[in-house]
Chains A and B, each alone.
Chain A
């Protein structure tokens, strides 16, 4: 999991909360309140990319081998990927279990 980024001291806050570096929302860890996480069974995966397209955040990224890698830094555990996977290759596992 990526290191926590995007959290600064109030002394470093941009004037009036402005965004002076475009795209800095990606620095914020938004995946800290899920109750279950998606786990991919790559034996079943057919590299269709549906999870990548449908994920409302930025959890899935394409690797060189055509499979998709998960970044839990952003995952809120919504389960859409698991619901929509045509091969039932994504299972939602309860956090802490």
Chain B
């Protein structure tokens, strides 16, 4: 007979951990108790030695799906000879130690109840339990108790309360617990958001959708716009109303079998689709995707697909049947997704024909996560619902609380304390007022939720990012230390941090643009270094960026720049754009390039894609970020050619031979798929050759790939495979996005490292 005290920390509260411990202890005939104590679970268990060993082992191996055990310590104490095992009332908890769980997709048990006619929650769209349901999106403040959530306004009925209070029930302390008698209800609204009487709002809504109408659906982290995905007319109408001309829409389908009708799905992708995070997964479209409108993702080899994640979605898809649904963010153009009812009613007016809403307020705007799988490894595009605010473990201890404010677009901020890095949900483009509001408000929320009061603020080097201004002003106001980190250094550190790499690496950072601190715009970088410092070892040969950000929307400008640099005539192309763009504009842009007027130098890899897309006639202007590169990739994927264009052997980052090769191919009317493929091959070769040279000279064999350009599956795969074939170790992003959604993690890691080594003067302002 022995007694042990066991302390478990991690995500162990609000996830059904105590009932689990209780039943495990009962099975093993142990006595003692379990109790929540300031964010940890304390257990005292008494019984035979083997039973106790089993118990300790199974605490980890059989823990509830939502739980995450970060630490488990146990030691022996004197026996007490009790009679039974019990759940003791919680000690008041300190916010600091409690992790708030992300919002989780409906669990299998709840799903069973949802479709069980005998269950009291049969077809109730808001059922949930300790294993599933809304979390981050409904919380006002820590600790995570019902009174501190948007469920506070709903008084539990007797039946729900009994479940809530019963340690043996799977809804024991399920904060958002609800049922048809006491919980949120659906409501149908017309096109100007005026309530419509309906006995079955969901059925009425679905009937409208089936007739080709556009619906606004209030979900977990915001509003979606919904319509049939197989109806060209309605999809195009949605594009028009939303002012979203070509950017792909995500679709929601019933299950994997449906998804497989239109997309090729491998095991890793299926696992992501079905995971409790339920992200949008970008899947390769089948060649003949019949039954899905071409207007969903025009010119794109991939289709963003997700499965229902809330009971409301399940019921919706159940009513709709086998038809796929467009499920896109409820907004106009590029603004943040609407999540507050009044705001949604106003902003979605003129877009939605019907609204299906409910009376459970959303507190935190949280977009769907987006991911993809490259060569069996996950490669996140947006880490948001389902993932945030789950912490990422830092490779070393952060000695002081730090806030990293991230970038400008695709903003994500992050807080660190100890070894935990809490990355926020996707905040979005800080040019937009409501995104900037969320940024400021949700920083406050996270600080309160995790009990972190930052002493140090880190921001990007760019002076005009709204996040930079926020950090500088706040540091001044609160007398905190603020320092700037170069954009691509953050990218590099971000990839290192998620892999726990501590020593120096070679970082290939390819993205759109980042402030270099030297008047130039960086973005095709080969860096050598680590958290502490870095050296810009090589970069793509710079070109003029005529019109700055304007050039990002008009690839023909960058093409003109590249052609000028490479001294190519490309007469055919020039006369083509004279026609398409107008000779006057082309002449003026040429003049800007020649004189360097409002045309900063840039080494951006993203712009190289744009230039090639324009020269090959794929497109001269883009409707959304990355469109030209995506379309170029789509074309390249249709060829399996292995050829490259000529390389400059002495100076591999010289892109002029590549441009000349592309121009020659275009002149010879070579098929665009082939040109696109040769371009990808060449950029991969340039990268690989440069890395091999640097690896040799610096004696480093670890290569990290980061930056938004690595969203490109083909490029990432080619580079990784070739570098690995040379015996180098390649690290790609698997937990945070390679794009700017990941830079807050890098900023944190650099700051934490600097603080730890007393090297805080690093690039300090």
A binds B: no
Chain B residues close to A by CB (< 8 Å): none
